[in-house]
Amino acid sequence: MLKKIDHLGIAVRSLEEGLALYRDILGLEVKGIEEVPAQKVRVAFLPVGETKVELLESTDPDGPIAKFIASKGPGLQHVAFRVENLEQTLAELKAQGVPLIDETPRQGAGGARIAFLHPKGTQGLLIELCERQEGK
């Protein structure tokens, strides 16, 4: 079902603050920055081997990242696992009683199709399932 860790989603107050650490101090290279209006977020991608660090900056005070930072502070917001068939994976998890935030995939950053599992069924961790075309 799960193929590998696709990325780690890290909530930051601003991309500039996040990049000061991950790019300037830790030496990771930025491979792109994009805005995902539907999720009220700007995202910076920094690959580490086959995995990425995904810095998430809210573009709206009512967005999910702003709410996360208000309640928990900046830091790890989600772990994304790569899957081959997102619809099938969601159906299997639903059949097992795993609560889903997204019952159908939606468009995410970096051209991925994504869906989230509810933390109440994953021991408190927000898990994203991510399907990408090869090479992306």
Tell me the pLDDT band of 1, cut-offs 50, 70 and 90: confident
Q: Which domain holds residue 91?
A: 4-131
Residue 103 lies in a domain: yes
Split into its structural domains, the chain has a count of 1
pTM of this prediction? 0.92
User: What percentage of the chain reaches a pLDDT higher than 70?
Assistant: 98
Query: For residues 9 and 77, what is the distance between their CA atoms, to the nearest angstrom?
Result: 5
- Tell me the pLDDT tens digit for each residue of 23-69: 999 999 999 999 999 999 999 999 999 999 999 999 999 999 999 99
Mean pLDDT of 116-122: 97
Rounded Cα distance, 8 and 4, in Å:
12
User: Considering the domain boundaries, does residue 59 fall inside one?
Assistant: yes
pLDDT (0 to 100) of residue 79: 98
Flag whether pLDDT at 92 surpasses 90.
yes
Q: Which CATH number fits the domain that encloses residue 86?
A: 3.10.180.10
Q: Is residue 136 part of a domain?
A: no
In a domain, 55, yes or no: yes
Q: Which residues pair with 100 in a beta bridge?
A: 117
